[in-house]
Amino acid sequence: MPFYAQHIKAARLQLQKNDPVMKRIIKLVGPFHAKTKRDRFGTLVSSIVSQQISVAAARTINTRLLEATSSSVENPKYTPEGILEFDVDGLREFGVSRQKASYVLDLAEKVHSGAVELESLQRQSDDAVIEILTQVKGIGVWTAQMFLMFSLGRLDIFPCDDLGIKNAIATHYQFDELPSKSKMLEISKPWRPYSTVASWYLWQSLDLSGD
């Protein structure tokens, strides 16, 4: 589901009304412009490939892997069938580490077999989506939360273990050190049911401040 303009408008109004710090952040960052990604399988493959490497390296590897596994040159797209044409060693030739290759194959196998039904996730609760996705090797809670936010367009996700979110809260809410989970959850209470929008603004604020 995309981020609908009326929902974002309501989110911005509530966040600015309920949290003066968030009001300042929203004014600093400007309009919300995040988009959701419709290609659910491709989003998860890219997320696995991109873990713990630079943006540039992730882009290069994803480009190579996509070109090699897609059946379409004009409109390349990750598919379980395309991934499953390769084994771990085959995927490594495109720059994917052995561990990530095994994760990508596990994802492809589970989606291909129907053990993980990506198209049905929109009808599941947030907790159920996390439980389903974390069955896949290499997909943890954080990756599942990013999927909820930027693939399914869920508006009330707060990834409180994300380092960028911790840094942004420490900066804007004037902590001398990274805040505890309990402190972050307390701060985030006024954001509900729009924690996703608040989280996006926190990430963007770090880009502007140069952190």
Looking at the structure, tell me whether residues 116 and 195 fall in a common domain.
Answer: no
Q: For the domain that residue 19 is a member of, what is the CATH number?
A: 1.10.1670.40
* Residue 170 and residue 192 share a domain: yes
Evaluate if residue 103 carries a pLDDT over 70: yes
Record the pTM. 0.90
Check whether residue 44 and residue 141 sit in a common domain: yes
Distance CA 108, CA 166 (A): 33
Considering the domain architecture, whether residues 139 and 56 belong to the same structural domain is answered as: yes
In a shared domain, residues 20 and 53: no
Is residue 211 part of the annotated active site? The answer reads no
Asked if residue 56 and residue 142 are part of one domain, the reply reads yes
Domain final residue pick, 111, 128, 150: 150
21 and 50 together in one domain: no
Residue 127 vs residue 54, higher pLDDT: 127
- pLDDT, residue 211, reads 43
Q: With pLDDT > 90 as the criterion, what percentage of the chain qualifies?
A: 90
Verify that 44 and 146 share a domain, yes or no.
yes
Kindly state whether residues 125 and 172 are assigned to the same domain.
no
* Pairwise CA distance, residues 206 & 3, whole Å: 22
Catalytic residue among 89, 127, 156, 162: 162
Contact (Cβ atoms closer than 8 angstroms) between residue 98 and residue 92? yes
DSSP string, 131-199: HHHTTSTT--HHHHHHHHHHTS--S----TT-HHHHHHHHHHTT-SSPPPHHHHHHHHGGGTT-HHHHH
Distances (CA, A) of 38 to 44, 118, 119, 147, 176: 11, 11, 10, 10, 40
One domain, residues 179 and 130:
no
Are residues 125 and 55 located together in one domain of the fold? yes
Among 103, 128, 150, where does a domain finish? Answer: 150
* Closest alpha carbon to 168 in 80, 160, 145: 160
pLDDT for the residue numbered 102: 97
Q: Which domain holds residue 72?
A: 40-150
Structurally, the chain folds into a number of domains equal to 2
Rounded Cα–Cα distance for residues 201 and 193 (Å): 15
Q: What is the CATH number of the domain that holds 73?
A: 1.10.340.30
Q: What is the pLDDT of residues 139-158, one digit of tens each?
A: 999 999 999 999 999 999 99
Looking at residue 93, the DSSP 8-state letter turns out to be T
The pLDDT score that the predictor gives to residue 72 is 76
Mean pLDDT of the chain: 94
**Same domain, residue pair 194 and 127:** no
**pLDDT given at position 209:** 56
- Which residue in the block uniquely carries the two structure tokens 């840094």? 167
Dihedral sign (CA 76, 45, 128, 156): negative
Give the span between the Cα atoms of 105 and 32, in whole angstroms: 35
